[in-house]
Amino acid sequence: MSNEEPTDEEVVQTASDAAKGLIFSRYKQSDVRDYDVTVVFEDGVLEVDVYLNAPEQEADPERVADDAALAAREAVDELFGE
């Protein structure tokens, strides 16, 4: 890995991909009624907000949204080599 820091765009994309990946690892895409992943990375601060509207029979949507946000943060930590 190079010594270059990832760009803000790379950070946002990495976080977004990780959150979406976790959501769709727990739910079939056809079961998800709506979702939104908002990622902001400014001045070295990462903010991740995940909204999920999905049936509770498969998993707890609130828990999955929280896990998705955590997965996003962990993916960014890995991107920075932490």
Residues whose CB is less than 8 angstroms from the CB of residue 1 and which lie 6 or more positions away in sequence, other chains included: 81
Residues whose CB is less than 8 angstroms from the CB of residue 71 and which lie 6 or more positions away in sequence, other chains included: 18, 19, 21, 22
Q: Domains in the chain and their CATH numbers?
A: 8-79 (3.30.300.100)
pTM of the predicted protein model: 0.91
Q: 51 and 65 in contact (C-beta within 8 Å)?
A: yes
Average pLDDT, the chain: 94
Q: Quick one: angle between helices 61-79 and 8-26, nearest 10? A: 140
pLDDT tens digits, one per residue of 25-60: 999 999 999 999 999 999 999 999 999 999 998 789
Among 38, 71, 68, 70, which Cα is nearest to 54's?
68
